[in-house]
Structure 1
Amino acid sequence: MLALEAIGDGAFAEAEALVDGVSESLVLYREGDRVRAWLNICPHAGRRLDWAPGQFLKSKDGLLVCAAHGAGFELQRGECISGPCRGQSLRAVAVDVRDGAVWRVGP
């Protein structure tokens, strides 16, 4: 899928993966050797979160910020804690880090 070293520690990256048989854009977030992933879709309006392909906004408080409407998502569970979709969450996608790369887990 993507080399772990291609994602800066504490940074985001975008990758494509099959999710339920459909090619989807994912947001990847790296913390050390751990990577979390979500669909690159804001639950508020169904738009991509990045302001340009693979370019994501991170607030001073460490939130992933939707470039379209400013919703702020915490990085543990992807829950929206500020903005128009407060209380909703990003859709998590299972990934695993092995052999220096991030791999999609599951169907």
Structure 2
Amino acid sequence: MSHVFLSVIDALPDGGAAGLDAEVGGEPSPLLALRRGNEVRVFHNVCPHAGRRLEVAPGRFIVDADTVVCAAHGACFTIPAGDCIAGPCRGQSLREVPCELRDGEVWIDPRG
């Protein structure tokens, strides 16, 4: 299966996080897109610490000092790499979904 369209890059906040939904691995999945300039990386919207979604409310993320913060337990993940640099899962990373940029559009590999 080829890549599927996820979003246009301009719809993602530069230096921030956006929640999106797509089918990955044959299942509906909440995703997290982290953008810094023209670099976008896409992850499963699941904290490796306790398996909860990262946002405070649907689509609303805590972004502070170039990190996105898990609303449940305060783990801090770098933007756009998704590496945990503080909190209960320090040293771990968000689970990435392969993506690519094509003419200002973000495409993901739905196999996950």
Q: RMSD value over aligned CA atoms? A: 1.4
Deviations along 1:70-90, one digit per CA (max 9) or x if unpaired, are 001122532211111112211
2:46·2:54 contact (CA, 8 Å) conserved in 1? yes
How far 1:100 moved relative to its partner? 2.5
TM-score (norm 2): 0.85
AA paired with 1:42?
A: C
CA–CA separation in structure 2 for the residues paired with 1:48 and 1:35 = 19
- Number of residues of Structure 1 aligned to a counterpart in Structure 2: 106
Give the structure with the larger strand fraction.
2
TM-score (norm 1): 0.88
Within 5 Å, give how 1:63-82 maps onto structure 2.
63-82=67-86
**SS at 1:77's partner residue?**
coil
- Aligned match for 1:95, one of 96, 99, 106: 99
1:50·1:66 contact (CA, 8 Å) conserved in 2? yes
Residue ranges of structure 2 left out of the alignment (5+ in a row): 1-5
AA paired with 2:64?
A: S
Deviations along 1:43-79, one digit per CA (max 9) or x if unpaired, are 111000010111111123x111001110011225322
How far 1:16 moved relative to its partner? 1.1
How far 1:33 moved relative to its partner? 2.0
1:17·1:104 contact (CA, 8 Å) conserved in 2? no
Structure 2 equivalent of residue 19 of structure 1: 24
Query: What fraction of aligned residue pairs are identical, expressed as a percent?
Result: 48
AA paired with 1:55?
A: R
How far 1:34 moved relative to its partner? 1.9
Residue ranges of structure 1 left out of the alignment (5+ in a row): none
- Aligned match for 1:8, one of 13, 33, 41: 13
How far 1:106 moved relative to its partner? 4.8
CA–CA separation in structure 2 for the residues paired with 1:27 and 1:34 = 14
